[in-house]
Amino acid sequence: MFKTVLFISLCLLALTILLNLYRVVKGPTSADRIQALDSVGINLIASIGIFSVLFHTRAFFDLMLLIGILSFIGTIAFARFIERSVVIERDN
Amino acid sequence: MKPNDVILQSVTKVAVVIIFTFSVYLFMNGHHNPGGGFIGGLSTAAAIVLLYLAFDIEKVRENIRIDFKKLTAIGVLLAVCTGLGGVVFGKEFLTQAFGYFELPVFGETELTSALIFDTGVALAVIGTAVNIILSISEDR
């Protein structure tokens, strides 16, 4: 019963990632693509949580926080690239 | 007109502390759990890159006075010296030792020489990653 619920939520998360990937491929502007990629990262975190319940392990918990940090930094870097056309600024 | 990114800078000031703590946790955790020198160094480099993203290069360079080329060299030197420590005591190269010590706060703790080797790996990874990103961002 419990495993069925986990499988159903995994399938829903996979469907969400597929819909986000549709927006990544089809998105008219690059801001749409960046936001869809950020959302894919969050859905990956949720899927890893469900996988670690399914496998009875705590080994993936560090990975969830790491994906959160990397997704945050990547989104900020892309946003700066759109806004200012340079990622790391220099003060002169 | 100078662009105003107050939100990004205030979020960065909080998030960098959390990321540094997390990277130290990953680094110290590596002996018995997932983690280790490589991923600890990479997440430290990620925090430094986040600082570079939120502020400009000169401001970070004023506040973190580290030459990252020298940091790479120190890391590799530390790893090689840990390996040579086994040779000094008459064992093979890269032989590791461990022991249990009574520390004031932590109680009985297992201290290994693999931790010093891991420190070298972490310093080399931090130096290399930040150095690559800085030298890419140099030219216009």
Q: What ipTM was predicted for this assembly? A: 0.85
Question: B116 in helix, strand or coil?
Answer: helix
Asked if A90 and B53 come within 8 Å (Cβ–Cβ), the reply is: no
For residue A58, give the DSSP letter. Answer: S
pLDDT of residue B83: 87
Helix (H, G, I), strand (E, B) or coil at A35: helix
Q: Which residue of A has its CA nearest to B3?
A: A84
What is the distance between the alpha carbons of residues B56 and A57, in angstroms, rounded to a whole number?
Answer: 41
Q: Give the model's pLDDT for residue B41.
A: 94
**Where does the pLDDT of residue A92 fall: very low under 50, low under 70, confident under 90, or very high at 90 and above?**
low
**How does DSSP classify residue A59?**
T
A25–chain B Cβ distance below 8 A for any pair: no
* Structure confidence at residue A16 (pLDDT): 96
Any chain B CB within 8 A of the CB of A1?
A: no
On the question of pLDDT at A48 being above 80, the answer is yes
- For residue B18, pLDDT over 60 is answered with yes
Whether B137 sits inside 8 A of A66 (CB atoms) is: no
Average pLDDT over residues A4-29: 94
Q: Count CA atoms within 13 Å of residue B106 on its CB side.
A: 8
Q: What is the average per-residue pLDDT within B80-93?
A: 87
Write down the mean pLDDT value for chain A. 92
pLDDT for residue B88 is more than 90: no
Categorise residue B76: left if φ over 0, alpha if ψ from -120 to 50, beta otherwise. Answer: alpha
Residue A27: alpha-carbon gap to chain centroid: 17
**In the predicted model, is pLDDT for residue B137 greater than 90?**
no
How would residue B1 be classed by pLDDT, with cut points 50, 70 and 90? low
Averaged pLDDT, B9-37:
92
Interchain contact A72–B (C-beta under 8 A): yes
